[in-house]
Structure 1
Amino acid sequence: MSQSIEEHTGARIARIRKQRGLTQQGLAMRSHVSKSLLSKVECGQKPASPALVAACARALGVSTSDLLGQPYAEELRRDRMDALIQPIREGMENWDIALDWETAPRPAALIRSDVRRALVRRRQAQYTDMVRDLPALIEESVHAVHTSTGEEQRLTYECLAGTFRCVFTVAWNFGYIDLATVALDRLAWTAPRADDPGLAAMHAYLRAQTTMSSGRYDLGIRVIDRALRDLDGQDARRPEGLEAMRGVMQLRAAVIAGRMKDRGLADARMAEARALARTTGELPDFGVTWGPTNVGVHAVAIASEMDDCERAIELAEDVHIPRGWTRSRAGHHWMDLGRSHAWTGDPEQALDCLHRARRIAPQQTRYHPTVRETVLALKRRERARSDSLARYAEWVGI
């Protein structure tokens, strides 16, 4: 069953607010947002920004998933994605116990090749193929760490860390926050055994992402800063990879600052990232996308986070995404820009951006809360029926 136009995040905020016995003014004060904005979000006139959702969730004592309506169970069942998640849950049950497997694992180099392919699919938002392969890769990697020694064992721990990175992404994007938390814990256990500081930095990068969902921005900044200090003076097998991790962690700190509405801190972190990007150029490693293009994309996202949507649209004019660039990041860029156009009252441009996101990264786009909120806002504000918007809404599940 498709989601009703009345089932938007603002309506959920209003329902839970009333259950808590709070007025709009009371929730606005508790969540440190303006009553005017909260009122527009609750009645569906404005899309709910991630920052507002996190602030209201914390004030109401619920999770952001509760307010977003995730996971989108009907749509996941329709696409049979829910059936692919369950084998991953089962596979994640064992990460540290040696079992009696009937066959020997492949050499670490062969497992590593498949894990790298999964990481590429993660960056390209090709989730179905990635998810199908993950349970077997997890099982084989666990088997390998218990039947190898020395450098071979270290490499298999690295493989295992890569699988947990992929699990985190798909679980987080589809709204299975409990599974994402398990994957993050498994990565924390695996990274030191892989003996690569870049993987420890990756754990911090993902942990900071979870703090944004809970509204613990102060903690997120501290997690990033500690990880950056830990990278200082580190010897690495992939020095360029550590530079990529330094860069994306500065970008994450800038996004957190944007959620905090701290323009000075956001600008300072963006300046650090921009200076590093000029030195490194485009440098994908550790499953992340790093370089000048990603800095430009994040500048747009941060302006959107700060509800400065006119600025986001202006900054987007200078963003030129190269052919073959990471689909997950490119798709996210068009989602952010679509929300900004919807916020400024330009439904045609907003829908055009959402169509671009769909063409680039369809699975990511279909299940992203920002897309749903933008589509719902466009539907509620349309003055004459748009067949294009109606078809898009139906594709999303509205």
Structure 2
Amino acid sequence: MPPSIEEHTGTRIARYRKQRGLLQQGLALRANVSKSLLSKVECGQKPASPAFVAACARALSVSTSDLLGQPYAKELRRDRMDELIQPIREGMENWDIPLDWGTAPRAVPLLRADVQRALVQRRQAEYTDMVRDLPGLIDESVQAVHTASGEEQRQAYECLAGTFRCVFTVAWNFGYVDLATVALDRLAWTAPRADEPGLAAMHAYLRAQTTMSSARYDIGMRVIDGALRDLEGQGARRPAGIKAMQGVMHLRAAVIAGRRKDQDHADARLARARALAQETGELPDYGVTWGPTNVGVHAVAIASELNEFGRAVELAEDVRIPRGWTRSRAGHHWMDLARAHTWAGHPTQALDCLQRARRAAPQQTRYHPTVRETVLALKRRERKRSADLAQYAEWIGL
């Protein structure tokens, strides 16, 4: 019998645990979590935090996507997003071999403008058009690096790095971890050839993200700290952008510390990020969202990681999303806050935050595992059927 579409992460953990022939005590020992917490997560009484999921996935020798139920194939087929992924896979097969084209590629400035548009779509979580254009942009960028020279060739490598950044985002968000890993490897190859320190730092930033899904927090922290050392004293074409990268690196380190339940370290990294943000102000660059607002939303997310849901709600009271702020980051904030409200016992506020996430970044919200888990938790706890919650659940495919 296929698993229920309303199966939550805890039931998947239980299913894989039983397939491995493990009792709860056995998995708890392997994952270094308490048996009591594991029992409550499996029956839906406690949330499965990202750190908890990563620990169980590692102990069960499965991916976090397996435990989260990603990719959500039925929903992707419904929106015809699944048919856009295969052309990207095919496009990613070539990153270093010139193509047998009978005509010259477009001028690099024209190509660069289209890649920049894709990067904006990535930040605004407008995935459909971005995904549709990516295979062609990859091919054009590959051809450009083989036909251009000098500064134009360097810019062509920047374009290629930008396409791989976009591929990583959509693959990771939709649960295609294998494709995200390929994109990360391609970015590692491309960034040094673009001769832009911020792109090398971007690779480290994303690599640290992947280590969190496998609970290798020690590696993630070393990657971040190594990249921060590399950025010190670096000359760059966009020096302000380097400060933005340093800032988001400290935020990533704070998240890693939060997942390790090391609140002192998380607070120290947040303090360093906050001081830097006060110096720079809002400063988006290298495709990241940086500034005081992002520090604030990360503080909320980290409190939630530490299962301090009441504190997360309190911290959110001081967060003001600026008009025109990056939709993907705004959407993440409302998802995190919805989760905090849910487990703090505020279902009305939680659903309101989910609606805000939907308005900010609908495609990102629809396929995010945090949203599905939050909706399922709200449904399990509702005393009276809510038409708004039922509509929302239907919208995400539950």
TM-score normalised by structure 1 residue count = 0.98
Structure 1 residues 3 and 365: CA distance shift in structure 2, 3 A: farther
**Equivalents in 1 of 2:19, 2:175: separation in Å?**
24
**Equivalents in 1 of 2:341, 2:202: separation in Å?**
32
Contact 1:44 1:376 in 2 (8 A): no
**Further displaced range: 386-395 or 375-384:** 375-384
Q: Deviations over 1:139-176 (max 9, x none)?
A: 10001001011111000000000000000000000000
Residue in 1 aligned with 2:267?
267
Q: Counterparts of 1:124-135 in structure 2 under 5 Å? A: 124-135=124-135
Deviation at 1:43, TM superposition (A): 1.0
Residue 381, structure 1, aligned to residue 386, structure 2: no
Residue in 2 aligned with 1:198?
198
Residue in 1 aligned with 2:119?
119
What SS does structure 2 have at the residue aligned with 1:146?
Answer: helix
**Equivalents in 1 of 2:177, 2:71: separation in Å?**
9
Q: Counterparts of 1:144-183 in structure 2 under 5 Å? A: 144-183=144-183
Contact 1:5 1:379 in 2 (8 A): no
Deviation at 1:378, TM superposition (A): 1.0
**Equivalents in 2 of 1:3, 1:183: separation in Å?**
31
Residue in 2 aligned with 1:99?
99
What SS does structure 1 have at the residue aligned with 2:134?
Answer: helix
Structure 1 residues 6 and 116: CA distance shift in structure 2, 3 A: closer
Superposition CA RMSD, Å:
1.2
**Equivalents in 1 of 2:100, 2:277: separation in Å?**
48
Deviation at 1:305, TM superposition (A): 0.7
Q: Deviations over 1:111-149 (max 9, x none)?
A: 111111110110000000111111111110001001011
Q: Deviations over 1:217-249 (max 9, x none)?
A: 000000000000001111100000100000000
Residue 214, structure 1, aligned to residue 205, structure 2: no
**Equivalents in 2 of 1:328, 1:363: separation in Å?**
10
Residue in 2 aligned with 1:336?
336
Deviation at 1:18, TM superposition (A): 1.4
Structure 1 residues 273 and 103: CA distance shift in structure 2, 3 A: same
**Equivalents in 2 of 1:41, 1:164: separation in Å?**
36
Residue in 2 aligned with 1:79?
79
Contact 1:45 1:380 in 2 (8 A): no
**Further displaced range: 353-362 or 6-15:** 6-15
**Equivalents in 2 of 1:8, 1:18: separation in Å?**
16
Instruction: Tell me which amino acid in the other structure corresponds to 1:230.
Output: D
Task: Give identity over the alignment, percent.
Answer: 82
**Equivalents in 1 of 2:323, 2:32: separation in Å?**
41
**Equivalents in 1 of 2:78, 2:45: separation in Å?**
29
**Equivalents in 2 of 1:314, 1:213: separation in Å?**
27
**Equivalents in 1 of 2:6, 2:371: separation in Å?**
16
Residue 327, structure 1, aligned to residue 327, structure 2: yes
Deviation at 1:34, TM superposition (A): 2.5
Deviation at 1:5, TM superposition (A): 5.6
Instruction: Tell me which amino acid in the other structure corresponds to 2:210.
Output: T
Bigger relative contact order, structure 1 or 2 (CA pairs below 8 A, ≥6 apart): 1
What SS does structure 1 have at the residue aligned with 2:282?
Answer: coil
Provide runs of 4+ in structure 1 moved above 3 Å: 2-6
Residue in 2 aligned with 1:250?
250
Deviation at 1:39, TM superposition (A): 1.6
Deviation at 1:25, TM superposition (A): 2.3
Q: Counterparts of 1:285-300 in structure 2 under 5 Å? A: 285-300=285-300
Deviation at 1:36, TM superposition (A): 2.5
Structure 1 residues 320 and 259: CA distance shift in structure 2, 3 A: same
Q: Counterparts of 1:346-365 in structure 2 under 5 Å? A: 346-365=346-365
Residue in 2 aligned with 1:42?
42
TM-score normalised by structure 2 residue count = 0.98
Gapped regions of structure 1 (runs ≥ 5): none
Contact 1:9 1:68 in 2 (8 A): yes
**Further displaced range: 279-288 or 376-385:** 376-385
Residue in 2 aligned with 1:392?
392
**Equivalents in 1 of 2:344, 2:31: separation in Å?**
24
Contact 1:17 1:23 in 2 (8 A): yes
What SS does structure 1 have at the residue aligned with 2:172?
Answer: helix
Contact 1:46 1:377 in 2 (8 A): no
Deviation at 1:303, TM superposition (A): 0.4
**Equivalents in 1 of 2:102, 2:183: separation in Å?**
26
